Amino acid sequence: AQRVTQPEKLLSVFKGAPVELKCNYSYSGSPELFWYVQYSRQRLQLLLRHISRESIKGFTADLNKGETSFHLKKPFAQEEDSAMYYCALSGASGTYKYIFGTGTRLKVLA
């Protein structure tokens, strides 16, 4: 079955502490993996995708095919990182469907 699992509903960290938001997936084939973010009172927007291997707002995510994981990391959390984070996958090129995880709410405490 195709699935995206985010085991933590809520993650609270102090400002300056490292952050890791977990994402595991189940997919037969080679998926594209994404992280989407939703800040308070804003729309859902793309944060990063694995194929670009970028660092956006200090966040990185590495696709681990052996562990079928795509965890989101940031070495030093900022208060403005507080948001809802969704992990999502899409199939290979030519597939336009997405599967989302249930999301993790990140709270960065002052």
Partner 1 sequence: DAMVIQNPRYQVTQFGKPVTLSCSQTLNHNVMYWYQQKSSQAPKLLFHYYDKDFNNEADTPDNFQSRRPNTSFCFLDIRSPGLGDAAMYLCATRGQGSYEQYFGPGTRLTVT
Binding site for partner 1 (CB under 8 A): 4, 9, 32, 34, 36, 43-46, 49, 51, 86, 90, 96-103
CB of 51 to partner 1, least distance (A): 8
Name 100's bridge partners: 88
Cβ distance to partner 1 smaller for residue 27 or 36: 36
DSSP state of 106: E
Cβ distance to partner 1 smaller for residue 41 or 66: 41
Cβ distance to partner 1 smaller for residue 29 or 96: 96
In contact, 109 and 102? CB cutoff 8 Å: no
Name 92's bridge partners: none
Q: What is the greatest pairwise CA distance in the chain?
A: 44
